Amino acid sequence: MTFERPRVVFAYDFDGTLAPGNMQEHAFIPRELGMAHEDFWAEVKLLARAQRGDPILAYMHLMLAKARAKNVELTEESWKRRGADLPLFPGVEGWFERQNARAAELELDLRHFIISSGNRELIEGSPIAHHFEKIYASAFMFDEAGDAIGPALAVNYTSKTQYLFRINKWTLEEWDEVAINKVLAKDDRPVPFDRIAFFGDGLTDIPTMRLVTDQGGAAVAVYNPDSARSMAAARELRDDGRAHMAGPADYTENAPLDCLAQALLTEMSARAHARNLVAWPTDPARRSPSPLVGEGGLRRRSDEGAIALAVQNI
Ligand SMILES: [Mg+2]
């Protein structure tokens, strides 16, 4: 698979990264369920423990069970309406087009993704939804009447990494379980990890940041400068070696995060275009031309070799 311009990706967590707080806490929990959000999350924790389950599935279940008890509307449309009012950090709305324009100048094809444990339906209703190639987030299943009846997809801290591999192999559909597991040699993957930058802020981002960092991509810790807790979380991500870059959650032009994004794009562009300039001599001993290609990598010579490479890569 080839793309006209080298494809690069900015992937973002949502809560605490692009938007302050948890998305359910702004209106849904306090106004529609009539609860303090601390009480809601405490109940989620108790339920997950009691059921020996996943807290993501527990919060999704409780959202629906409590909403049903209060006769709250559960259609996809209603979730999107709730999402439309989510507050965002400063400058977020103008960020994507500015980065896209820079990427185009650098002859890169930049795509944006969300990888969040929050609700997909809420993010899809937000005014920035159209900027994303895909919004990977926890999603509800809907019945024939159009009402949410249970979870269809739960994205937790470790399943977040699955979506990085989906981007890496450009196998983007959530439901696909075949193509994502096919062997694809590192050199043949449409978006190498060193062309992925992940922006995140906390606990659910740790395995994702670890993976991005270990594979040569950029893990950026975003923090709220008005929150001591958020800044402590960023320092912890740095101290534990999960993130190696950081910036305050201000997405306006020329803010530190914006300058960092520009530098990352420049670096990715230089690396991608250098790779395209690699010209190895033809090896006369081999029947097929140029078996050795860019980044010192070995191109697939046999299925056996490809499997060995894939195992090494995952
Ligand atoms: Mg977060």
pLDDT tens digits for 286-312?
Answer: 765 544 444 433 343 334 344 344 434
Which residues surround the ion ligand 1 when the cut-off is CB under 5 Å?
13, 15-16, 201-202
CA of 299 to the centre of ligand 1 (A): 38
**pLDDT tens track for 18-39:** 999 899 998 899 999 999 999 9
Q: What is the pLDDT of residue 4?
A: 81
Token digits of residue 271: 């690396």
pLDDT for residue 198 is more than 70: yes
Domain ranges of the chain: 7-19+88-276, 280-314
Structurally, what CATH architecture does the domain formed by 7-19+88-276 represent?
3-Layer(aba) Sandwich (3.40)
**pLDDT tens track for 228-271:** 999 999 999 999 889 999 999 999 999 999 999 999 999 999 99
- Burial class from Cβ neighbours inside 10 Å (0-12, 13-18, 19+) for residue 15 reads buried
CA of 69 to the centre of ligand 1 (A): 29
Pairing of strands 148-153, 132-142: antiparallel
CA of 183 to the centre of ligand 1 (A): 32
- Burial class from Cβ neighbours inside 10 Å (0-12, 13-18, 19+) for residue 302 reads exposed
